[in-house]
Amino acid sequence: MIQEQGLLDRFGEAIGRFVAWIVSLFTDTFGSLAEGVRSFFGGIARGAGLQNPGLFTWILLILGLMILYGAIRSALRGGIVGAVVQGVIGIAVLAWALA
């Protein structure tokens, strides 16, 4: 039995190919973007000396940097004791993250 393709069949096939092309375009674009982000954070991890860069390690790293930033701000405002305490805590948290 010979099957003839009608106009609507060809139109449906063209729409299906277009949808597949759009999906492929988004998949390739977001795949490349995800790989770039993964490489960026991998470079930061290697540069910082992170041994096991998991989520908890990243949270500790960010927390330690925030505490050190607070220590610098405290020192600039004239709170020497607060700056020293925050600085020691920040360095301890960073040392824990990098160990």
Each residue's pLDDT expressed in tens, for the chain with a length of 99 residues: 455 667 778 888 888 898 888 888 888 888 888 888 888 888 888 887 777 778 888 888 889 999 999 999 999 988 889 889 999 999 998 888 887
- Nearest C-alpha neighbor of 64 from the set 81, 44, 84, 89: 89
Q: How much is the pLDDT for 66?
A: 92
Q: Is 2 left (phi over 0), alpha (psi -120 to 50) or beta?
A: beta
> How far is Cα 45 from Cα 39, in angstroms, rounded to an integer?
10
- Whole-model pTM over 0.75: no
Q: Is residue 68 a contact partner of residue 42, using CB atoms and an 8 Å limit? A: no
By CB atoms closer than 10 A (0-12, 13-18, 19+), residue 90 is: buried
Q: How much is the pLDDT for 3?
A: 59
Q: How much is the pLDDT for 1?
A: 44
CA 95 to chain centre: 22
Q: How much is the pLDDT for 4?
A: 61
Question: What is the torsion angle, in degrees rounded to the nearest 10, for the CA atoms of residue 81, residue 83, residue 86 and residue 88?
Answer: -80
